[in-house]
Amino acid sequence: MNTVNVTVNLTMALTIGGLYAVGFYLLLQRSLMRIIIGIVIVGHAANMFLQLAGGPPGRSPIVGVSPAEEMTDPLPQAMALTAIVITFALTTFLLALAYRSSVLLGHDEVRDDVEDRRIRRQQQRVDEREEPDEPGADRKFEFGTDNDKEATR
């Protein structure tokens, strides 16, 4: 196999970098739709990166049509194609899940982590009590005394 030509197309590199940045920014949002779009964009970036890894473009890799040394490396294209199909299928699945979520919950916000919610509730209880000096005051804030459905089921 050829070790890949080191010259990288700057436009491609910048585009891919930009896509990764945009995708990861969207992944950090609270709305499910934005997260899904983020995943799609990072997917595009990854697939383009895979293309870029195959080296500079050449002639079509068909034996008899173009000479071997001018051919593009077909392997990354095959891999990118597989990856595109997989990301496509999973994006569809995610969209179905987001739809289900909005049917069940009426919104598509991602909720806080179970543990985070529990800590916040405990903090609220501490604040309500307002007697932090009393010894043993926090003995009652034991874990798991809440009735959160997720924490107790």
Partner 1 sequence: MTMLVALPILLPLLAAGLSLVLGRFATLQRLLGVVVFTANAVLAVVLLAEADKSGPVVLQLGGWDAPVGITLVADRLSALLMLISMVVMLAVLVYSIGQRITDYGRSTSSTAFHPMYLVLGAGVSMAYLTGDLFNLFVAFEIMLGASYVLITRRTTATRVRAGMTYTIVSLTSSLLFITMIALVYAATGTVNLADLSGKVEALPVGVQSAMALMMIVVFGIKSAMVPLHFWLPDSYPTAPAPVTAVFAGLLTKVGVYALIRTQTLVFDHGESWTLLLWFSVITMIIGALGAIAQNDLNRLLSFLLVSHIGYMLFGLALYDVTGLAGAILYVVHHITVQATLFLVSGLLTRHTGTVALRGMGGLAKLYPAIALLFAIPALNLAGIPPFSGFVAKLALLEAGAEVGTTMAYVATGAAVLTSFLTLYAMAKVWVFAFWGKSKPPHPDPDPTDELIIGTGSTSRTMVSATSALVVFGVLIAVFAGPLSEISTRAATDLLDGGPYRTAVLGEEAE
Give the number of other CB atoms < 10 A from CB of residue 25: 12
Give the number of other CB atoms < 10 A from CB of residue 152: 9
**Residue placing its CB nearer to partner 1 in the complex, 106 or 130:** 106
Q: How far is the CB of 75 from partner 1 (least distance, A)?
A: 7
Residues near partner 1, by CB under 8 A: 1-4, 27, 32, 35, 39, 42-43, 45-47, 49-50, 52-54, 73, 75-76, 79, 82-83, 86-87, 89-90, 93-94, 97-98, 100-101, 104-105, 110-111, 113-115, 143-145, 149-153
Tokens of 134: 């009393």
Alpha carbon distances (Å) from 122 to 39, 118, 144: 34, 6, 10
**Residue placing its CB nearer to partner 1 in the complex, 79 or 126:** 79
